[in-house]
Structures are given as C-alpha cells and as structure tokens.
Amino acid sequence: MKTRLATMAVAAVMAAGPVMADLVFPSLSYRTGPYAAGGIPFADGYADYFTLLNERDGGIGGVPVRVPECETGYNTEKGVECYESTKGEGSLVYQPLSTGITYQLIPKVTADGIPLHTMGYGRTSAANGEVFSHVFNYPANYWNGASVGINHLLDINDGDLSGKSVALVYHNSAYGKEPIRTLEELSEKHGYELSLLPVDHPGQEQKSQWLQIRRNQPDYVIMYGWGVMNQVAIQEAANIRFPMENFIGIWWSGAEHDVTPAGDAADGYKAITFHNVGSDFPIFEDIQEHVVDKGLAAGAGDQIGKVLYNRGLYAAMLAAEAAKTAQEMHDTADITPAMMRDGMEALEVTEELMTELGMPNFGPSFSVSCENHGGPGLGGITQWDASAGEWSLITDFMESDKEVIQPLIKADSEAYAEEAGVEMRCN
C-alpha cells in the first residue's frame, strides 16, 4: 500500500510539472445580476485578448498570461471578496467595471501597491496622478464624456447653445451623479438650461421622468445609464416620440443590447465613445483564427465585435501594452504590480502601435504621465443605424473642455487628498 501511494505521488508530481510564473490579470466580471448584459461582453473581450496573446505570441514578452475570473454581480461586498481572494496571486492590475467597487478599491489598492485601471468610469478626479498614485482612468473619464457631448451639441448648433435646454437622465448613484457638476459649469459657460432627472436603481420604472421630458420638451437629453435602465429609457423616449438624434448617451449607454429592444424606433440614437466600434479591424481575423477557431473564446463566444466587447478588448490591449512597457523599463519579463504601475504611468499609445497591433484608429493616441493619469480625454460620437443593426462612428475623436474640467479635477482630488491625508507626488 505504502509503495503504491508513493508511486502515485511521484506520478502526480511528474504530471503537475514545474510551476510556471505567469502574469496575472484578474477579471472582476459580472455575468449575472441586473447589469450582466453589459458585463458579459466586456469580460469576454478582456479574456479573449489575453487568450489571443497566449496563443499567438506565447504571452507578453514570453511570459504566459493568466486571467482568473471572479464573479462580482456588480455587488460591492462580492467585489471585496474577489479582490481579497485574487490579490495574493500577484495580480498586476484590477479593472472592476463598477464605480461602487472602484471607490472601495481606491484606498485598498494604494495601500497594497497594486494599480487600478478604471477606463471611463470610477472616480473621475483619479485623473490627477499627483494625488492618486495607483489609480488610472485613461483615456477618458465621465467629465470628458459630458463635455464631449456638449461639444457635439455646440457643433450641430453652430457653436451656440444659449437658450437651449438640456436634460440629464442619470442613474441615481455615484456613477450617475458624476457629470452633474461639469454640466452645471458648462451650462454657465454656454448658456443652456440644465434640468436633472434621477432614475433609481435598477431603472425599470422611468414613466415619471419621461413624462416630465414630454411636458418640458427639452431640446436635448443626455443620459448616464447602465444596465436595464438604458433599454427602458430608449424605449420610453421612443414612446413619447422624442427625436432620437437629440438623445445622447454616455459610453455606458451605447451598446447593441441597449437599442435593439426599441427596434426601428431607436434609429438615430447617439452615444459618446472613447474607442472605435465594429469588427472591421485586422485583429478580429487573428481572434477568429487563434481564439474562436480553437474553441477558446470566452463565454458563449457570441459577443465578438459588439461595442462593449471592443471596450474589453481595448482595456486588455492597454493593460498588455503597459505590461510590455513595464518589462522594457525594468528589463525583466516577470513583472510585479509595482513595475506594472510604472509601466502604466509611462504608457504611450501611438497610431503606429495600434496599427501594428491590428487596431488602426481603434482609440485616440495618447501618453500617460506622473501628473496626468487621465489621458487626453478625447471622445467621439457614435450613432445607431437600426436598419443595418450597427453602430458607426460619426465624428472624429474630439477634445473636451479642459478649461472647465481641469479645475474641477484639481479641486475634487485635492479635497480627497486632504480628507485621506495623501501627500502630493510628482515633484
């Protein structure tokens, strides 16, 4: 008996083989719960890009990538559990895709020395790298989004919004409240009238808000919604025959599943974005060849090329490039979270790099610095074509109003620094 156990043990050791150190990019995803429709494509895109790197290039810099997934259900308590259970594995960067979880993780990751990348969500003032050492929100944040939306309205109104009225329909949470201050400042500057219409979680009931819109007849509606709230809002807008081309959603309110329930009535609905849409990029051929055809696609594999899938892909690409930068900076393939942070801070994304990766014009070219963790804050406008069933980018990536946003970021981050006792960096 003893000898048999020993042989089994030896066989087991040989089967297991040497433990490979790999680069860990945990995915705090949500494939269940009220926001799953948005969480699934993002998680799929994030996982597929790393699978592609493993299959095609053998990982990043020769080191294989591992993407342990942890289900948060958009719930902060589960998010904490996920963070604590994965942080010990050498996790390089966290991307929780939830503003609530982000607020919780900001102090924790800073204390633990792990970078946090909240691309287009989270705490906007984290763009100030002088205060937030481990938090990044490049290439764009909520306030850029609000400003890009207003800039687009300026464009179609020949630069004059005075006397116009804009209504903000927002998710009544930290996320939805983010743009209010920016939109108020911008309304003073451009002379439009702003009205605020909060929608409570999860947002299935919006009759009263849209009744108010029907009564007050605002010229434009901007929406900061997520999950089922988007579909309901677009359906309600269609019901009151609000002109869709005057209805602009933030990037979290502009995916296929948000507009399809309203059918043809959603035609012309616009959304702000910070990356390109569609599957007309060379990288998708690689994904087909190395990921899908090998049966390695994450999830059900039916999300490829959707807006939020592309966002997950883009997030993974930026993370992988930051890891490469870190590998070059520290001259080692096996990087630590601290090195990853340096890599993110030194990240430079150029058009040549994106073309080389098979993603030409997929996002704006930008560079991150110690002071600026928020990137350039460029955004474009996409529009939904219901008959073709696809989103298309109708503008270039344009500047947001830095004059208004920068002082707000500075004020909010300095207030945080004072409250949390953070010392300024980058001097």
User: Applying CB under 8 A, does 292 fall inside the site for another protein?
Assistant: no
The angle subtended at Cα 371 by Cα 224 and Cα 421, nearest 5°, is 85
Q: Draw the binding track, 123-152, toward another protein (x: CB under 8 A; -: no contact).
A: x-----------------------------
CA nearest to 42, candidates 134, 100, 118, 114: 118
Closest CA relative to residue 343, chosen from 20, 27, 92, 66: 92
Among 41, 73, 139, 375, binds another protein (CB under 8 A): 73
Residues 64, 103, 194, 336: which binds another protein (CB under 8 A)?
A: 103
Q: Does 113 bind another protein (CB under 8 A)?
A: no
Residue whose structure tokens are 């970021």: 409
Report the residue number, 126 or 283, with the smaller CB distance to another protein.
126
CB distance 314 to 362 below 8 Å: yes
Residue 100 found at the interface with another protein (CB under 8 A)? yes
Residue 81 makes contact with another protein by CB under 8 A: yes
Residues 331-370 within binding reach of another protein (CB under 8 A): none
Q: CB of 16: closest distance to another protein in angstroms?
A: 6
Position 164 contacts another protein (CB under 8 A): no
Tokens representing residue 337 in the block? 């979270």
* Least Å from the CB of residue 129 to another protein: 18
Contact between 80 and another protein by CB under 8 A: the answer reads yes
**131 versus 283: smaller Cβ distance to another protein:** 131
Describe the strand order of the beta sheet including 270-273 as a list of residue ranges: 193-199, 165-171, 220-224, 247-249, 270-273, 380-385, 390-393
The angle that helices 76-86 and 99-112 make with each other, rounded to 10 degrees, is 30
DSSP secondary structure, 153-208, as one string: HHHHTTT--TT-EEEEEEESSHHHHHHHHHHHHHHHHH--EEEEEEE-TT----HH
Pairing of strands 23-24, 380-385: unpaired
Q: Is 8 in the site for another protein (CB under 8 A)?
A: yes
Q: Does 111 bind another protein (CB under 8 A)?
A: yes
CB of 36 to another protein, least distance (A): 8
Q: Is 107 in the site for another protein (CB under 8 A)?
A: yes
Regarding 196 and contact with another protein (CB under 8 A), the answer is no
List of E strands, 23-147: 23-24, 27-29, 65-66, 69-71, 116-117, 135-136
Instruction: Verify binding: residue 68, another protein, rule CB under 8 A.
Output: yes
Counting contacts by CB under 8 A, is residue 12 touching another protein? yes
For residue 198, is the peptide bond before it cis, meaning its omega torsion is within 30 degrees of 0? no
CA distances from 346 to 139, 376, 387 (A): 13, 14, 43
- Using the contact rule CB under 8 A, the part of the chain among 56-64, 71-79, 275-283, 321-329 near another protein is 71-79
Residue type at position 409? I
Task: Indicate the residue type of 354.
Answer: M
Binding-site member from 57, 108, 194, 402 for another protein (CB under 8 A): 108
Which residues, 6+ apart, have CB-to-CB distance to 340 below 8 Å? Answer: 92, 93, 115, 322, 323, 326
Task: Supply the minimum distance, in Å, between the C-beta of residue 123 and another protein.
Answer: 7
How many chain residues bind another protein (CB under 8 A)?
Answer: 56
Cβ atoms of 378 and 397 closer than 8 Å: yes
Closer to another protein at the Cβ: 29 or 310?
29
410 binds another protein (CB under 8 A): no
Residues found near another protein in the complex (CB under 8 A): 5, 8-10, 12-13, 16, 19, 29, 31-33, 36, 40, 66, 68-71, 73, 75-78, 80-81, 84-85, 87-88, 99-100, 103-104, 106-108, 110-111, 123, 172-175, 177-178, 180-181, 198, 200-201, 299, 412, 419-421
